[in-house]
Amino acid sequence: MRRPGILGGLFVAAMLTAALIGTSFFAWRVAGLPFVPFDVFDLVTRVLPGGLIAFGIGTMVTVIRALHLGPTAASAKTAEQAMAITGAFIAGLVGGVILFFILRARRRGNGLTVGLALGAVLGIPAMLISLHASNTASVGPVASAIWTLGAFLVWGVVLGAAEERLIRIDMEKATDAIADRAVQRIDRRRFLITLGGATAVITVGGAAVGELAGSRRRESLMALGSGESMRWSATHPLPNANAAVQPAPGTRPEFTPLELHYRIDINTIPPNIDESRWRLQIAGLVEQPLRFTLQDLQRYKPSHQFVTLSCISNPVGGDLIGTTRWTGVSLQRLLPDLRLKPNVTHLKIRSADGFFEVVSLDAIKADPRLMLTYSWDGVPLTREHGYPLRIYIPDVHGMKQPKWIESMEATDHWEPGFWVQRGWDRVAQIHATSVIDTVAVDMTIIRPDRSKLVPIGGIAHAGSRGISKVEVQVDGGPWQQAQIRSPLSQLTWVVWRYDWLFQSGNHTFTVRCYDGNGTPQTVTRSPAEPNGATGLHSRSMML
C-alpha cells in the first residue's frame, strides 16, 4: 500500500480555505454578512497582553516608515487586515492537515462525517464571535449565525470529500506495469488541477467582485455626506489666511484634508452604527437614566474648534497627526441636563467597539473646550472616524479619546481606561514636538547680492500649551530662531519657517521647539510606549 503524501493534502486544504475566505469576503461586501477573519482578529487584539499589542503596533509603524509604504495609518490598517486574513488561512490549513492525517490513518470512507465535524469545531466558535463581537455584519443575528456556521460546515464537508478522494487515489494498489502508474498519476493530477482551478475562480472572483461592491458603496457614502463642495473649508478662508509668515514650499497642509487625517484604532474595520437606532445612554449615578439622539445633541449651541489630534504611537517626525475643524457640544454645557448625583466624580465613556475611557468631572467643569463631537469640516463624521459621536479632550493623545460613543456612566471613582489597563500612560499628555517637513532646495530665494536662501519648514505642536519658539540647527552649529506662522487656534500645531543661507555639501538639519510656557521639548530620545515618543527630528541631505 502507498502512503499518501502530505503535500497533496496541504494543496487541497489551501485551495478550499482560500475559496472559503473569498466567498466570505464577497458575502460581506455585497450582503453585509459577517467576515469571520476580521471579527476573530478584532477579538484577539482585545484579549492579548497589552505589552504584546504595544510591541506589535511599534513594530508595524517602524516597518512602514523604514520601507516607505505610504501613510502610516492607511498602511497599518491594510497590514492588520492582511494579518487577519493570513491567520484565518493558516487556521484552515492546520485544520485541513489534521483532517488529512485522520482520514489517512482510518482508511475508511468517512470523509464527509469527519469533515462535517471539523466544520462544526471551527464554525461554532466563529459563529459565536460574529454574534457577539462583530464589526463586519450589518444583517440580523439569525442570518449571521446561519451564514457563518453554514459556510464552515460546507467547507468541512467539501474538504473531507476532496481529501478522501485524494487519499483513495494515492492508496490504490500499485502494479509493476508502467502504464498503470502513469494512469494513476494522470488521475491524481487531473483531480488536483480541477480542484485548484475551481477554487481559484471562486477565490479571485469573490474577492474582486466584493472589493468592487465595497468601493462603490464607499463612493456613494462620500457623495451623500462628505463631498468636497459641502465642507466648511470649501467656502471659508482659514482664520490665519492673512498671516505674515508663509509656509515653506513642501510643508504639509496646515489644514489636513479629511481623506488624509490619520486613523488609528483597535478594529480591522470600523463599527457600522445605524443613526436611526443609535442613542447616547446616560446611566450610573444619575437621578434618572437618559437617552439622547444625535438630533438632541445638535440642538445645543454648537462649539466649533480648530484642533490638532495626535496618536500616542506616533514616532518623532511621524504622520499620525492631523488638524481640522471639529463641531460638537461642550460637555460643560451639557452637564446640567445630565442630572448627576452629588457624589459623581467621573464619567466612564464607552464605545461601540468595546473601547472606554474615564474623564474627571473636574476637567469637564474647568474646560469648556472638552466636547462631544459629531462633525468635522462642516460635514458629519465618517464611519472610520467615529460616526456618529466621538469626544475631544484638549492636550491628550488620541488613546484617551473614544470614538463611536454609545454611553456615559456617571461614577464616584477613577478607573484605568482601555489602553491604561494595557500599560500605556495614565495621563497621556501631548509632548512638545517639532518636525522638519521640507528643505526646499528647488525653491531657493535669490537675494540682491546673488546669495541663495533655502526655505526650510515644518510643524511644531505642544497640545493646548501652544508653541512659543522654534529653532533650527545646521550641522551641529548654533541654534537659529525660525519664524512662526500664526496658528489656526490655541489647540493646533504651528507652521514654522527658516530661510537658510545655502552652502553646497552634505548637511544635517535639526529642529527643536519650546511650548507656550517656555519649556523646551524633551531632547532624550524615547519610544512611543508608554507615554509618547520624544527626541529631536533631523534630516540629512546632500545639496
DSSP result, 163-187: HHHHHHHHTSPP-S-HHHHHHHHHH
Query: Above pLDDT 70, what percent of the chain?
Result: 88
Give the side-chain half-sphere CA count within 13 A for 523: 2
Q: Are 40 and 84 in contact (CB under 8 A)?
A: yes
Pull the grid cell for residue 366: 474647568
50 sits in which H/E element: helix 50-67
Q: Are 73 and 264 in contact (CB under 8 A)?
A: yes
Plot region of 463 (φ>0 → left; ψ -120 to 50 → alpha; else → beta)? left
Cα gap 279→144, rounded to integer Å:
24
Full set of structural domains in the chain with CATH = 6-222 (no CATH), 258-411 (3.90.420.10), 433-542 (2.60.40.650)
The model's confidence at residue 47, banded by pLDDT at 50, 70 and 90, is: confident
Q: Which residues pair with 371 in a beta bridge?
A: 330, 392
How do beta strands 290-292 and 346-351 pair? Answer: unpaired
Cα gap 459→493, rounded to integer Å:
6
Q: Shortest CA distance to 355 belongs to which of 284, 416, 279?
A: 416
Surface-to-core class of residue 486, CB atoms within 10 Å of its CB (0-12 exposed, 13-18 middle, 19+ buried):
middle
Cα gap 361→366, rounded to integer Å:
9
Give the side-chain half-sphere CA count within 13 A for 507: 17
Mean pLDDT in residue range 503-514:
96
Cα gap 369→391, rounded to integer Å:
11
Q: Does pLDDT of 481 surpass 50? A: yes
Q: How do residues 177-216 score in pLDDT, each as one tens digit?
A: 444 555 455 455 665 666 566 666 666 665 565 566 555 5
Cα gap 202→486, rounded to integer Å:
57
Residue matched to cell numbers 474646560? 367
Q: Does pLDDT of 137 surpass 80? A: yes
Q: Which residues pair with 325 in a beta bridge?
A: 306
The model's confidence at residue 437, banded by pLDDT at 50, 70 and 90, is: very high
Alpha helices in 226-342 (DSSP H): 232-235, 294-298, 331-334
Q: How do residues 227-238 score in pLDDT, each as one tens digit?
A: 667 999 999 999
Residues 6+ apart with CB under 8 A from 219: none
CA angle 207, 210, 214 (to 5 degrees): 135
Surface-to-core class of residue 1, CB atoms within 10 Å of its CB (0-12 exposed, 13-18 middle, 19+ buried):
exposed
Cα gap 106→243, rounded to integer Å:
81
CB atoms near residue 530 (< 10 Å):
18
Cα gap 290→299, rounded to integer Å:
16
Pull the grid cell for residue 197: 482551478
15, 103, 292, 494, 521 from 525: Cα distances, Å: 48, 57, 45, 22, 11
Q: How do residues 56-105 score in pLDDT, each as one tens digit?
A: 888 888 889 888 888 999 999 989 999 999 999 999 999 999 998 888 88
pTM of the model: 0.86
Q: Are 452 and 502 in contact (CB under 8 A)?
A: yes
CA angle 347, 348, 350 (to 5 degrees): 135
The model's confidence at residue 537, banded by pLDDT at 50, 70 and 90, is: very high
Q: Does pLDDT of 472 surpass 80? A: yes
E strands of 35-186, at which residues? none
Cα gap 193→172, rounded to integer Å:
20
Mean pLDDT in residue range 129-144:
87
Q: Which residues pair with 351 in a beta bridge?
A: 405
Cα gap 290→161, rounded to integer Å:
56
Q: Shortest CA distance to 509 belongs to which of 449, 435, 414?
A: 435
Q: Does pLDDT of 317 surpass 50? A: yes
